[in-house]
């Protein structure tokens, strides 16, 4: 029989908390995780976690600059599996960016294959590309990792160790810059010249009280990989003092002479912000300036850029106004742009916006920290070496005694005890004096181990001399390391020496020019007001021609076009559609030229969508503004609206309010018309006076004009004057509209006798 067991009731614990407090804490934890662990760089090494982990993984895989390239897929997979479990895309993107010379002032990865282009082409898939570390990355970023210079922390699953920061020997945050969007904050730091930043760090070490103004005599401003010209030099001091501001940059424009007395503008450097899709956007913007007649000086544009550099060529007409055109490009395109600076980074475990002096201060402190740890580690190793060397030298002096001890000992433990503590009991000595000498031995355990492992060849005279020299070198190193660790000035000199070596090997000429330039001012050519004839065919293609051109081709124009009227080239064209919308088009946006020149679809120059709506009326704004419009809908609603209501700045507004399912059937400009005749799909006609329709606002629905029965609806709207004999054909027979019985608005209408 099974034994019954009694269980004590589990004490229930309910933790009560405000939902808002839980959500607030959770969101703050998430935000800080994104800020600290993903989006922002550390001020000490200038790297985001994904960049740091990728470089460290390449270091662990031994993919050095003098070793063969390895597949990026291997690097990405290894990094993701060991250190960065956030998806392969972010790791590969970071790897690609660190290899792109047009984005980084100092590329850290040597990419082999298609790693994208300055024009925005993406890199090939990671299975096709290869990479290895750059020499500078090994020398300045990963060197001394084996000397305990930085702390190592557990990875995400605590199966590996990773460095909390890389022992970077130069201010990488300023050299390569940084971009990142966190939660509630973002960083944007421009790249700088390697040599200038090293000089600034050198100056800071020599004088900790150096001012930002003095630093900027060394670092005049950013040095973008794409070159360009910074034009607000006087504003840079405040930006580098506070760590925030706006840097204005321009592309570099050169003038080249070509045959026939013509010239062309060649853009050889672009603003850093134009990298990628900005180049094609610039080309499109220039094309738009030509299409909209903002300039007639440009006859052709071509992008001749290659691996050698940027070359965008603008072919100009003869006698073009070069200065005015250049200013227009600065004003109307991204050839002049703004780089927003926000030097935000993680400092002492929290995000902080810092000026250049504060960043250098953190970097210098970090250099002294890793140098102290490095030389402390090296000193400990040299002292260990000193201990062993001194033990071996002393052993050589009493080698006969040691041999006698070894021969007389029963085991290694007995021999070691004699060497370290002078315990000679149990050891057989040939000479009683030897035992007394053995009892005086006091080697350290490490020395004793080295003596026991010593080879007989060490007893050769030359080997002993080499051991003594090696000991002398060790003592020199110990003295040097102690001097570095005990004297600030000595450590400073050592760091400065290393910085000078880095500068000598990795510096390059400045690419970006820093100056004060006047704001771009260009005179927009005055648009000459002139009368034109608007032409639009039934397919929605529109253009304008001069009145003389129209008169010469009047017959063909009238035959080929649905809408024809005269307007001014400064006017707007209004398109009223069946969906109750009115779209406006600037006449100047339409091509104007010869009669057979190509027209443009109105869809391209307005918000009109021919696939969703149909045009009811096309007219120029000037004509409509001085008129009254009569609106008629499919369900028989009508109203008068003054044309002035459609003189608005928006490109699209509602021309009338429609009930569900209703559509606009007719919009008529009312001048001298007296009668309106509505014809329904069911064959009913209703004729009444136009004056019976009230005036309403464009946002109103209107009033009922005809009583419809069943599924009947208004199909056509006609207008007549008195004594007008206008007729329409119904079922093959002619019906004179003015002979239809005159009724009142809101009647059912009549069916004419056929």
Per-residue pLDDT, 737? 87
Per-residue pLDDT, 35? 67
**Is the pLDDT confidence value at 348 over 80?**
yes
Cα torsion angle, 121, 122, 127, 132, sign: positive
Q: Please state, in angstroms and rounded to a whole number, the distance separating the CA atoms of residues 269 and 233.
A: 19
Instruction: Spell out a b/e string for 410-449, using b for 16 or more CB atoms within 10 Å of the CB, else e.
Output: eeeebbbbbbbebbbeebebeeeebbebbeebebeeebbb
Looking up tokens 């094609």 gives 280
Q: Tell me the CATH class for 627-754.
A: mainly beta
Question: H or E segment at 531?
Answer: strand 531-536
**Is the pLDDT confidence value at 461 over 70?**
no
- Which tokens in the block code for residue 111? 């990419």
Phi/psi at 246 (5° precision): -125, 130
- Which tokens in the block code for residue 514? 């820093």
Q: What is the mean pLDDT of residues 747-751?
A: 90
Per-residue pLDDT, 18? 76
Per-residue pLDDT, 592? 84
Between 689 and 434, residue with greater pLDDT: 689
**Is the pLDDT confidence value at 667 over 90?**
yes
CATH architecture of 252-334: 2-Layer Sandwich (3.30)
The CA–CA distances, whole Å, from 127 to 56, 76, 85, 89, 123 equal 20, 10, 19, 12, 11
> Using an 8 Å Cβ cutoff, are 25 and 111 in contact?
no
Q: Which residues pair with 269 in a beta bridge?
A: 252
> Using an 8 Å Cβ cutoff, are 54 and 131 in contact?
no
| Third-level CATH fold of 365-506 | Topoisomerase; domain 3 (1.10.268)
Q: What is the mean pLDDT of residues 724-749?
A: 86
The conformational region for residue 319 under phi > 0 = left, psi -120 to 50 = alpha, else beta, is: left
Q: How confident is the model at residue 86 (pLDDT cuts 50, 70, 90)?
A: confident
Per-residue pLDDT, 745? 92
> Using an 8 Å Cβ cutoff, are 707 and 748 in contact?
yes
Per-residue pLDDT, 457? 65
**Is the pLDDT confidence value at 576 over 80?**
yes
- Name the 3-class secondary structure at 152: strand
- Name the 3-class secondary structure at 504: helix
- Which tokens in the block code for residue 585? 């088009």
- Which tokens in the block code for residue 161? 């160790």
> Which candidate, 349, 343, 347, places its Cα nearest to that of 363?
347
> Using an 8 Å Cβ cutoff, are 701 and 637 in contact?
yes
> Which candidate, 268, 266, 267, 260, places its Cα nearest to that of 319?
260
Per-residue pLDDT, 366? 96
Per-residue pLDDT, 30? 66
Per-residue pLDDT, 1? 46
Looking up tokens 């529109």 gives 542
Between 592 and 212, residue with greater pLDDT: 212
Domain boundaries, the chain: 47-167, 252-334, 365-506, 527-572+584-610, 627-754
Per-residue pLDDT, 103? 92
Per-residue pLDDT, 717? 93
Name which of 290-299, 475-484, 527-536 the model is least confident about: 290-299
Q: Please state, in angstroms and rounded to a whole number, the distance separating the CA atoms of residues 408 and 454.
A: 18
- 278-292 pLDDT per residue, tens: 898 999 999 888 877
Pairing of strands 628-633, 664-670: antiparallel
- Give, rounded to a whole angstrom, the gap between the first and last alpha carbons of the chain: 109
User: To the nearest whole percent, how much of the chain has pLDDT over 90?
Assistant: 62
> Using an 8 Å Cβ cutoff, are 285 and 377 in contact?
no
User: To the nearest whole percent, how much of the chain has pLDDT over 70?
Assistant: 95
> Which candidate, 377, 345, 368, 301, places its Cα nearest to that of 40?
345
Q: How confident is the model at residue 240 (pLDDT cuts 50, 70, 90)?
A: very high
Name which of 243-247, 274-278, 534-538, 607-611 the model is least confident about: 274-278
* Contact partners, residue 708, CB within 8 Å, separation at least 6: 635, 636, 680, 714
Per-residue pLDDT, 17? 72
Per-residue pLDDT, 11? 66
Q: How confident is the model at residue 3 (pLDDT cuts 50, 70, 90)?
A: low
Looking up tokens 């890199």 gives 123
CA-based diameter of the chain, in Å?
Answer: 157
**Is the pLDDT confidence value at 228 over 90?**
yes
Q: How confident is the model at residue 430 (pLDDT cuts 50, 70, 90)?
A: confident
> Using an 8 Å Cβ cutoff, are 89 and 77 in contact?
no
Pairing of strands 513-514, 229-230: parallel
> Using an 8 Å Cβ cutoff, are 339 and 273 in contact?
yes
Q: What is the mean pLDDT of residues 622-643?
A: 93
Judged on CB neighbours under 10 Å (0-12, 13-18, 19+), 88 is middle
- 578-602 pLDDT per residue, tens: 999 999 999 988 888 888 888 889 9
Per-residue pLDDT, 16? 75
Per-residue pLDDT, 4? 52
The CA–CA distances, whole Å, from 647 to 450, 619, 626 equal 100, 13, 11
The whole-chain average pLDDT of the chain stands at 89
Q: What is the mean pLDDT of residues 221-239?
A: 95
Judged on CB neighbours under 10 Å (0-12, 13-18, 19+), 467 is middle
Instruction: Spell out a b/e string for 635-661, using b for 16 or more CB atoms within 10 Å of the CB, else e.
Output: bbbbbbbbbebbeeeeeebebbbbeee
**Is the pLDDT confidence value at 390 over 90?**
no
- 175-209 pLDDT per residue, tens: 999 998 877 788 999 999 999 999 999 999 999 99
Cα torsion angle, 425, 427, 432, 437, sign: negative
Per-residue pLDDT, 672? 81
Q: What is the mean pLDDT of residues 563-588?
A: 93
Q: Please state, in angstroms and rounded to a whole number, the distance separating the CA atoms of residues 231 and 331.
A: 14
| Third-level CATH fold of 47-167 | Topoisomerase II; domain 5 (3.90.199)
> Using an 8 Å Cβ cutoff, are 728 and 735 in contact?
yes
Per-residue pLDDT, 727? 87
- 685-723 pLDDT per residue, tens: 999 999 999 999 999 999 999 999 889 999 999 998 877
Q: How confident is the model at residue 663 (pLDDT cuts 50, 70, 90)?
A: very high
Q: How confident is the model at residue 458 (pLDDT cuts 50, 70, 90)?
A: low
Helix and strand numbers (H, E) in the chain are 22, 34
List 128, 375, 506, 608, catalytic entry = 128
Per-residue pLDDT, 482? 93
Q: How confident is the model at residue 525 (pLDDT cuts 50, 70, 90)?
A: low
> Which candidate, 237, 243, 213, places its Cα nearest to that of 516?
237
Per-residue pLDDT, 24? 74
Helices 356-397 and 445-453: crossing angle in degrees, nearest 10, is 60
Q: How confident is the model at residue 229 (pLDDT cuts 50, 70, 90)?
A: very high
Q: Would residue 240 show up in a list of annotated catalytic residues for this protein?
A: no
> Using an 8 Å Cβ cutoff, are 706 and 747 in contact?
yes
The CA–CA distances, whole Å, from 426 to 243, 256, 408, 605 equal 77, 99, 8, 109
Per-residue pLDDT, 494? 95
């Amino acid at each position: 029989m099974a034994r019954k067991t009694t269980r004590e009731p589990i004490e229930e614990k309910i933790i009560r908390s405000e939902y808002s407090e839980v959500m607030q804490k959770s969101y703050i934890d998430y935000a800080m995780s994104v800020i600290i662990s993903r989006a922002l760089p550390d001020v000490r090494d200038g790297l985001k976690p994904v960049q740091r982990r990728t470089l460290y993984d390449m270091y662990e895989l031994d993919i050095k600059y003098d070793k063969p390239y390895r597949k990026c897929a291997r690097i990405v997979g290894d990094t993701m599996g060991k250190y960065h479990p956030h998806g392969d895309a972010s790791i590969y993107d970071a790897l690609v960016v660190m290899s792109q010379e047009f984005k980084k002032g100092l590329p850290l990865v040597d990419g082999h294959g298609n790693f994208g282009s300055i024009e925005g082409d993406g890199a090939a898939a990671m299975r096709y590309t290869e990479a290895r570390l750059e020499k500078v990355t090994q020398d300045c970023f990963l060197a001394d990792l084996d000397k305990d210079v930085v702390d190592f922390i557990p990875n995400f699953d605590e199966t590996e160790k990773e460095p909390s920061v890389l022992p970077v020997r130069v201010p990488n945050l300023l050299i390569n810059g940084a971009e990142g969007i966190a939660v509630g904050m973002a960083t944007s730091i421009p790249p700088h010249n390697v040599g200038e930043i090293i000089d600034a760090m050198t100056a800071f070490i020599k004088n900790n009280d150096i001012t930002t103004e003095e630093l900027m005599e060394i670092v005049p401003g950013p040095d973008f990989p794409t070159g360009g010209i910074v034009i607000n030099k006087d504003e840079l001091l405040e930006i580098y003092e506070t760590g925030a501001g706006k840097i204005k940059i321009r592309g570099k424009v050169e003038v080249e002479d070509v045959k026939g007395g013509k010239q062309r503008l060649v853009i050889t450097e672009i603003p850093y912000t134009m990298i990628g899709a900005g180049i094609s956007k610039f080309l499109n913007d220039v094309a738009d300036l030509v299409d909209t007649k903002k300039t007639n000086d440009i006859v052709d544009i071509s992008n001749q850029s290659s691996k050698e550099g940027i070359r965008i060529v603008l072919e100009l007409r003869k006698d073009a106004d070069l200065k005015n055109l250049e200013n227009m490009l600065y004003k109307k395109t991204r050839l002049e742009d703004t780089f927003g600076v926000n030097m935000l980074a993680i400092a002492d475990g929290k995000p902080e916006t810092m000026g250049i002096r504060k960043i250098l201060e953190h970097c210098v402190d970090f250099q002294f920290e890793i140098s102290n740890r490095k030389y402390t580690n090296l000193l400990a190793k040299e002292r260990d070496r000193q201990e062993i060397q001194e033990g071996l030298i002393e052993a050589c002096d009493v080698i006969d005694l040691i041999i006698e001890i070894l021969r007389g000992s029963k085991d290694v433990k007995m021999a070691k005890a004699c060497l370290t503590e002078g315990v000679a009991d149990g050891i057989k000595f040939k000479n009683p004096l030897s035992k007394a000498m053995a009892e005086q031995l006091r080697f350290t355990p490490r020395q004793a181990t080295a003596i026991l492992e010593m080879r007989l060849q060490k007893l050769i005279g030359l080997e002993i001399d080499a051991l003594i020299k090696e000991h002398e070198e060790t003592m020199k190193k110990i003295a040097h390391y102690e001097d570095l660790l005990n004297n600030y000035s000595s450590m400073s000199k050592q760091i400065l020496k290393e910085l000078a070596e880095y500068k000598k090997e990795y510096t390059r000429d400045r690419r970006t020019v820093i100056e004060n330039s006047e704001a771009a001012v260009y005179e927009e050519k005055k648009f000459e007001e002139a009368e034109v004839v608007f032409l639009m065919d039934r397919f929605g293609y529109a253009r304008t021609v001069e009145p003389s051109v129209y008169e010469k081709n009047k017959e063909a124009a009238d035959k080929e076009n649905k809408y024809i009227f005269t307007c001014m080239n400064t006017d707007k064209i209004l398109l009223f559609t069946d969906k109750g919308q009115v779209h406006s088009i600037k006449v100047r946006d339409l091509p104007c030229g010869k009669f057979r020149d190509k027209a443009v679809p109105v869809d391209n120059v307005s918000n009109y969508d021919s696939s969703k709506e149909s045009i009811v009326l096309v007219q120029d704004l000037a004509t409509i503004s001085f008129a009254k419009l009569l609106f008629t809908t499919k369900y028989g609603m009508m109203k008068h609206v003054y044309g002035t209501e459609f003189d608005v700045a928006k490109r699209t507004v509602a021309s009338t309010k429609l009930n569900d399912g209703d559509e606009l059937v007719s919009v008529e400009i009312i001048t001298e018309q007296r009668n309106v005749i509505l014809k329904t799909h069911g064959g009913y006609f209703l004729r009444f006076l136009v004056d019976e329709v009230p005036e309403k606002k464009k946002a109103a629905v209107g009033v009922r004009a005809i009583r419809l029965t069943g599924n009947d609806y208004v199909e056509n709207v006609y207008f007549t004057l008195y004594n007008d004999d206008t007729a329409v054909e119904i079922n093959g027979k002619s019906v004179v509209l003015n002979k239809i019985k005159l009724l009142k608005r809101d009647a059912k209408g009549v069916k004419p006798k056929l």
